[in-house]
A = this chain, B = another copy of it.
Amino acid sequence: MRFFIVPGHRVVTGGDFTLNDLSGSTGRLDILLRCVNSAFFLSNSIRQDVELYLVLLGQPEPPKTVKFVGSELRYLNPDERSTAALVRSALMKRCEGEWARSTPGIYVARKGFDEILAECAGRAGEIFHLREGGQDMRDAEFAAADNAFVLGDQYDLTAGEEEAVARFKNRALSLGQKSMHTDHCITIVNNALDRACR
């Protein structure tokens, strides 16, 4: 299994937003929507072995996490607008500390970064932090079948988030010399793992 964890440092935690201004009024939810696309889509199928955790930290109810489970997903299309509608439905659902199912494969809970990290660490062999200066992923070996990948959104991880990662078995990975968008990094990680496992 591949777990991707992406904090949305300013992304809204309520469903009161319009689908017509996703990059303006949502605290850059659009960035995370593109991560959904790159985490799950193959040419004619959905990746069954991926789970994606979007940890939303903006107003009005931070923190809140939207979880996508590849093996259960239905109604997911590649465009930003329809994915935003699914996230909005999840954010409109009443939830507490346990996962509540919104639509098939999409769950929501009032969980923050540390809690999500602990959940994934309990199921993954290692946590990989994607960032500049890490070991080149092409040279990395993946001892376990299940791995978690933590990526920043348009902001790096905060000091507190880095400390949370450091509490678990972890390694910093990079994908080359150029700094890329989060969704592009997920695409490249998926492709690298596909190749490593063939």
Contact = CB atoms under 8 A, between A and B. Distances in A.
Contacts of A74: none
A79 interface: yes
The number of chain A residues touching the other chain, given as a range, is 20 to 34
B179 A30 contact: no
B198 A175 contact: no
A122 B45 CA distance: 37
Interface string A29-59: 0110010011001111000000000000000
A168 B181 CA distance: 34
- Counting every copy of the chain, the complex holds 2
Interface string A7-39: 000000000000110110000001100100110
A187 interface: yes
A194 interface: yes
Contact of A81 (B41, B80, B180): B80
Interface of A: 19-20, 22-23, 30-31, 34, 37-38, 41-44, 77-82, 138, 175-181, 184, 187-188, 191, 194-195, 198
23 contacts: A19-B20, A20-B20, A22-B81, A23-B79, A23-B81, A23-B82, A31-B78, A38-B184, A38-B187, A41-B180, A43-B179, A43-B181, A44-B179, A78-B181, A80-B80, A138-B195, A176-B198, A177-B195, A177-B198, A184-B187, A184-B191, A188-B188, A188-B191
